[in-house]
Every structure is written in C-alpha cells, then in structure tokens.
Structure 1
C-alpha cells in the first residue's frame, strides 16, 4: 500500500503542495533578501538562508544548491560549528532530491556527528532520521535498527518527542521489512503514544495506518479495523488534506471489511473509493475486489464478468509503477470460484493454477495470501478427486493443510508474543500498582476537580443558551437576583465584622478587668511596702512617689490601648512618655532635668514592661531626691542595647550627692528596684564611685 500512498500524493496532493510552496518561497525570499541586506552578523543569516533553501528545493534544485554554497561561505568565514551541521544537513537533502544517496548519506552522517558533539539533540535526531531513510532505501534494515536504537538511547533523557517518534517509525519500518511484525507493532504503538502526547495528528494518523496494515497482514482483522477507523478519524481533523488521504483510508478499510466477510459494507466502501480514483491501475484494483465481493454475495455472473474485464484490460498496465499484483490474484481467484460453482472444472483449475502461480513467488506471504492459497489447493484437490486423480488430490490436500498451519503459525507467534508481553506487563503492573496506590487520592481529587470544571462549563454553556433564548424575559430577574446576592454578601460581611468586633470587645473588656484588678493589687502592695519600710513623715513626698509609680503603670496601659496589638507595647514610645510626664510633674524653677534617651523600638509584653517602667521610675525619683541642692542642671542618661539574646538597660546621672544624703543601701527605692529586677529575672551592676550608674541585663523570653 505504500505505492498507493505515493500515487495519491502525486495525483492529488502535489498541486496543492506546489501552490503552497510558491507562496512559501516568495515569503522566504523576501525575508532572506532583507536579512542579507541588513548589517546583522553572518551567523544570524544562517537561519533565513536555510529556510529559503528548504522552501525552494522542491521546485528549483539549482537555486537551492546555489544558496547552499552561500550558506557554506557564511559558515566557513565565521567558523560557525553549528552552521557546519546545518550546511551538511542541507547538502544531504539536496542530494536526496537528486537521488544521489551515497553522497547524501555522507553529508547526513557528518551533520549527525556535529550535532551530537554540540549536544544539539533536536537537530541530531533530524540528521539521524535522514541517515535511517537513506539506509532504508538501500535495504540495510539491520543498520537502520542499530542507528535508530543508538540514537534513541543517547536521547533517552531528552524531550523532542516528535523527532524521537519519527525515528521510532523508521525503526518499525525496518522491522516490517524483516517480517518482524510483532516488534514493529510494539514500536508503532510507542510512536503513536508519543505523537498523542504532543497531539501531533499527522504522526498519529501514520502510526495508526501502519498498525492497521500490519494487523491485516497477520489476519487480525478486528484490530486492523479498529486502527483503520482511528486513522480515518484523525485524517478528518484537517479537512484541507482529508480528500488527499481519503482514498488510501477507503482502500484499507474496504480490504479489511472484505476479509471480515462484511461484504455489503466492503462493497459500499470500494464504490466510494472508485469515485475518488483517477488512475486506471487503482480502478482495476478496486474492480478486482468488487468482483470477489459479488461472488460472495451470490452475483457469480457479475463477478465473473468484472474479473474477466479486469484481466483483459490489465495487460497494458502490469509494467506501471503503480500496478498492484493483488489485482490479478483476486481476478483469477474470483474466476476460479465462479467456474467451480458452475461445475466447469477445467476452467476452474486453470484459474486456480494461475492464482497459485501468482502467489508462489511472493515473499513474505501475508495471512490473506496463505488463506487464498489454502482455498485454491482445497478446490484443486476436489477437482482432482472429480477427475479420479487420487494421488494428486492427496498431495494438494497436504499442501492446503500446510498453508493452514502457516496461517495458524502467524497468529500463534503473535499471540505468543502478546502472552509474553502480557506477563512482562503484569509484572510491571504489580510494581506500578504500588506507586499508583499512593497517587489514587491525588488523582481522584484531580478527577473531581475536572468533573466540577466540566459541570461548571456545561452549566455556563446551558446558562448562556438559556439566556439567549429567553433573554428579554429573564434579563430583569437576573439583574435583581445579582443585586440581591450583592446585598446579601454585604449584609453577611457586615454581620461577620460586627460579630468579630463584638468578640474582640468582650475579650478586651475581660482583659481590662483583669489588668485593673492586678494593677490595684500592685498599687496596694507598693503602698504597703513603702509604709512598712519607711517612717512616713513627709506625707506630700510619700504621695508624690506613689503617684509617680501609679502614673508609670497607667502609661503602660495607655500605650497598650493605643497599639493594635494589645499584648505588647513599644518600649521606646513608652519610656519617652514616662520621662515626659515625670519631667512635668517634678519641674522646678531652680533645677533643670535633661534626659539623654537612646532606646530602639523594641516590643515588650506587659509582664516585662511594668517592672521596667517602675524600675526607671524609681531610678529617676532617687536621682531627684538625692541630687545636690546647688546643682542647677542634672543630666540623666537612659540606654537600651541588645546583643546575642541579652538586653542591657543602662541608667546614670551626673548628680552631685548632698552631704549626708546619699541613698541608703537598704532604702525602699533601692529594695524596690532589686525586687523588680528579680521579677524580670535580671542582673544588676551598681557603680557609685563618682556618679550613680545602673547596668541591668535581662532576657525577653
């Protein structure tokens, strides 16, 4: 049938191809002239030159060769390694166009070597494809298998699916030429799967067609029909080219239906093919099949007339390139059957002998060939019995049995290979099953999402169709429905916000109650401690100190409520507000306080912030209480540093202590400072040699 492919391309497709090529050549020529006239680097001109050569080659090989020389000059001047590979590939294609296969093989081999060296695997596969095609033309099938298998192995980790599948098709063709049909079918199916991944329709159609023909040769007609229908449907995807391949598809399908004994369907299919056939050789081939079909349908006279007509007219076409030997086989076989049915044994024997003679030299024989040979031998055996030639009849019967055995052998070999493949597949399935089980849930989830998406799309399509049909009646209702939905969403969002705010307020109120209770308890404890530790003589000073401590705690809560996060406060902001309030509270006309504060924006929780605030409060109070009365300006320095998980709070002043008024070591203020430092699990280092200086270290857990 590959001759038929070439015939159809020459008969139907070439006019369309020539028209397309002329347009393509003009476009590429314009682009090429523009690039050559530009100031682009020579290496950038290689691509346009190559594309123009590829476009012009089918119609003008001389111009293609002229620009191939230009391509070589561009590459050689710049020592462009990949360009050399492109040049050799172009030269190989030129030689193929002139049927110079030896030189084309040399060029294609050089191109493959260069692309392999550069690890340009896509172009490497294209070059290997050329090498396989040329060796296949020489019938070097073993070499094609070796080269194709090696190329596929080298590019195992690469993508380029279409190029690799094209190599697989050439590999399968080689196995077909060696009559290794089962191996060929496996590789064609791998190529079909690869073409399917990329949705490359021409490749899928080719693979399905070849698989169908192999199944036909092996007598597996149901499988052959399945793949033939697949190829037919794939060809329909491109309506422009469908008519060009339709005749091939119809002839394949008619042959399969005839072998399946679906004679009416086969007759309809061949008659449809007859309408598309323009070559007399093809028409004779179709008529030979119709003659056999008419015999099987009981129209023996019509079948005999058609067969005899084909034989009479075929004499001038047997030397044609597109002549099919099957034509005479079917006609002689049909005439043998018709004359046998009419008991004209002499004529029947003549045509059966002709049929056997035509098939005898054919190698390899297909399943259908063996079936016809078997039937011919059976009928010849009966004719010899009719002629009382017992020995000849026995010999013919033995030959019929042998042909039947060969038929069974073809299918048994295939079934055996299938069984072996099934065993291997079962073992692999066991291994794969374990992996698949892990992905089942994920796949099911994806499947559900796909179903949802499909249902959603279907619902949308139905909605759109419904809206188009009853647009005027439902437009207002849809609008109101959308408005109501928007309002409901707004109400729901507002409700959620209100519920959230209410919950936050309730939590805040509870937190406030809890903190107020704790703060009252702390105030009471501070007052009790101060009363127990000192003799309260100056009630005003007592109250001022207590007020200052309470104010420090109040500032912490004020800072908390001003922050979005009510659990932490900005210590920098808090200290500045504390110092500002104390400065205002203890402002004096005779004495001035200056604060030097260096505290970064660290965030502390309330358990750290309150003790630290009270510590600073006590330190400032102690400085004010014990500073010398004649000192007009007192500078207080407060610094906070962080290093390696440790905070260091430094406090110092430049105050000159009044004689006799240095702070006692067991005073309430100092005891309170130490108590608060213990509360935050810190350590303190106090220096009073010249000026008072506290260094407190702690962690913020």
Structure 2
C-alpha cells in the first residue's frame, strides 16, 4: 500500500537570508500613521516577500489594499490583489478558495491576452488540481503554463514549469519522464543560484527514487533538500524534509525511524497554517502506525483527516484515510466498519480512476476479454473431446458465427463508408462556419474602426468651433457614436457573434462617459444592478443609445457646481419585459421640459423607446428617475 501522494512543489516565494532588516523597515512604514495611499507601494513590496511565510499578516495587507480608493477601478492592480488572495488561501491550506481566486486571475488575463499572467495562474491551478487528485485538469493547466513560459518566460519561469510537469508525471507513475524534467529544472535553478528551487527539485527527485527503490540516491537528494531548507530557514520546507525522510525509512521497513521523522514533521506543521500539509503528515503517521501494529492509534490519526475535508477537498487524502481505516478495522475484527470504509475507498478510487485513467481501463478491459475468450476456447475443446454431438453443435455454431461475422463485417464496411462521408461533410461545414465567423468578426472590427474614425473626426471638428452649443452638440454625437462602437468591439472580441453581454457593455459605457465628462467617481458614485444577460444586436444598439442619452443628461445637468451624488442604473428582465431604471439624486430633470439644446436627445430617446415598444415615465422628486419598460427585445 503506497500512500505517498504529495509532491513538494515550490510555487510561492520565500524570504531569502539577510532580508529581515528590510522587512522590518517595510512593516514600520505600514504600521505608521501616514495616509493609506502613501503605504500602497510598501504594502505591495511586503506582500511579494511574505505572502507565503506570513499568510495571516498578508490577508491584513490585502484588506488594506482593497481599502485604497480607486483600487477596484484599476483592473490590473485589482487582479494582483486577487492573485495574492489566492496565495494566502493556499498558504493556509484552503485550496478550494485558492483555486477560485487563481481561476479568476487566469480568466482575466485570458481576456486581456496576457500570456505571462495566464502562465502564472495556470501553474497554480495545475498544481492545486494535482494535489486534489484532478489529474486531467492538472495536466491541462500545467501544459498551458509550460507552453506560455517557453514562449515568453524567463529561464526561472521555464524551470518552474518543468518542475510542475515532472510532478505530474511522477504522480502518474511515469518516473523516467519525471526524472528527465526534474533534472532540466535543477540545472536551471543551479545556474540561477536559486536555493529554494534546488531544495524543491532535490525533494521531488528523492520521492521518485524512493518509488524506484533506489534508496541511496533518494537519501542523497533528500539530505540536499534538508541542507538548503535549513539555510533558508523555512519551517514549511523542513516540514516536507522530515515527512519525506519518514517515507524513505518506512519504505525500508525502518518503522521506528519513520515514526520519529513523521512526528517531527507533524509538530512543525501544527505550527503552520496549511491544512493540506498537516493532513499529509497524518496520512503518513497513520500508515506507519498500521505497519507497526498500533491499530487503534492509526484509526484515531486517520479519522482526523476528515476534519478539514471541506476546506481542501483532497480526494487523495480521503482515499488514503479510507484505505487505512478499512485495513485497521479488518485486522481488529470490526468487519462492519472495515466494509463501510472499503466501500468509501472504492468509491473515491473509482471517481479518480474513471476521470483520469480511461486508457488504462480500456487496456484492462481488453485483457479481461482475452482471458474470457481463452476460457471459452478451452471449454469448447473439452466438449469436443467429450461428445461428438456437442462437436457437431459447436461446428454449426461456428458456421453461423462465421456467416454472422461476415454480415457484420460487410455492414461495418458500409457503415464506415457512410460515416467517412458524413465526417468529410462535417469537416467542410465546420470550415465554412469558421470562415463565416471570421468574416463576421472582421465586419464588426471594421465597423468598430469606422465608428472610432467618425468619433475622432467629430472631436477634431469640435475643436474648430467656438460656439459652445454647437461644440456640445458635436460632443454628444461623438458620445452616441462611441456607444455603438463599444457594441461592435464587444462582438469582435467575444465568441458570441450574435449578442452582447449587457453587464460588461454598460460597465465599459459608464467608464467612457465618466471619462468624457471628467466626472470623478468619488464625487458621483455609480451603482450598477444589471442582470447577467446577452441581448441581440438589434436590441442592444437602440438600448445602448437610450442609456447613453440618459446617463449623459445626469452627468451634465444633475450635479452642477461640483455637487456630490449617486447615479443608479438598473436593468432587469421580468414577465417578458425588459425593465430599465436610471435615477440620480441631483437637482432634478424633466425629459419633456428640457431646453432646446437637448431636444434632439429627447426625441432620440422617445423614438428609440417606441422602436422597442417601450413605455417611459419620468419622476423628478429628490432628483430624477426615468423608468422604461420594453416589450420588444431579443435575447441572444
């Protein structure tokens, strides 16, 4: 029974020697009474260096960053905060929340086409799924990370990617490939004088050599890991060292020495915050207790593994615990509990097996069928020797079988030809559809570019006009053009060519309008309550123009003389209607009694509302609230 499932995989930075004075200086700045905005740069620096070693403190630093005004509007900074949230959650062993944060980070960088950002989070997603037993997902993201880093990353990045792939191969039992990748990573870390990286790879090589029963090579690599981790001075790394040495001794049947090392690892990890690593030590201890005949203690230690199962959701740990409990209860004569735990072990094993080892299942199934066929031939031979009648029946069965086989072969050939023709047609249709999508995307791209050109021409024209009313009208026209350009930009960038995500579109539109009219978000607060829906282009274009006009009216007239207030935009679907509400707490504005300089905008709103079969109402109390119920709209 081999219960070793964890790989010591370095994904997060550690604090190097000689940095304590530097870190103390940063902490002094952060604890001072200077304004929070002036602490932003020190907070980022400190997070970079202690996010793994001091996760609780790092969570406080993350909260401080989120409290800085404007951090949410800067998407790149906000995504860095999300990345550090993922780091701290992994550091405390909450792999479920950590995985969510890294997935959010990956999705953002995938949208912005930032391959290095994708590589960073892909490596984390891959190793977290590897720890949890999700092998297919782990392989997918580790290969993505490796491809991204090979294309654009540094040598250290590529070394880390090779280390991750090697860990995957090791868990899959492909030890030769794992050793090859580990040595590639070790060479790069050695050239870079990266002590943490070298410690990491030596530990992983030690585990592979243990599985290969090359115990001398294993111990040599583990001793080097212990040396490097002692130099760095990280309890996290030393926890792995003693755990892995215990594993080495256990595989050599030196159970007392294994037990001693496992206990040291457990005590170190009880002082840390990673539930995953703590449960890894408990698996190790329970396993060696079982081998030492200390069955009751093994049961107690294995039961503790389920205390954190919701936080880390590690199938591999639960699998190991159920296997230990099943064996311990069977030895002690509690066959009912032994059977219950064996069932749970089998269920989790089947879950991992069916998800990640389909090829192995097919191979085993083929072997099983071969054995069945051999048994059937032996039985027929026995019957032939025993009875001529049985021989005659058998021959008849063979003839019928041959005819059936011929018919099946002939039908299979015909079916193959039909399927081949269908697949060829499908391929041609797929190519045609892809070409059509590319053409549609190109059309949206060109429309967007042309609208942006019109917007630029309007800007140039407005700068040559001295009459403020005329210049303002041109600026309003420019705003309308930009609202349509955003729609075509969204269609060009996304897979859905028939519709636009309203929430994303309105977020971009509001940002554009706030920038156009130089509105500080701290003066006029924006509240969006938008259903997550995708509208057909024939609906979103008039709707976007209506919303553009109403927001423009509020920003231009509702908050004069630097007045502060709140602008609320709400869009909901209810009872076959699309309900739009735009309100502000400004000085009040009546769409029907607006000045002549806004008459075109008023007419435009009413005309577009009528186009979508909408009913409009305006309330001017404590500001202005415009409500429109659209009966004609299409979801994409």
Q: Which has the higher contact order (CA 8 A, sep 6+)?
A: 2
Q: Which has the larger radius of gyration?
A: 1
Same fold (TM over 0.5): no
Structure 2-normalised TM-score? Answer: 0.40
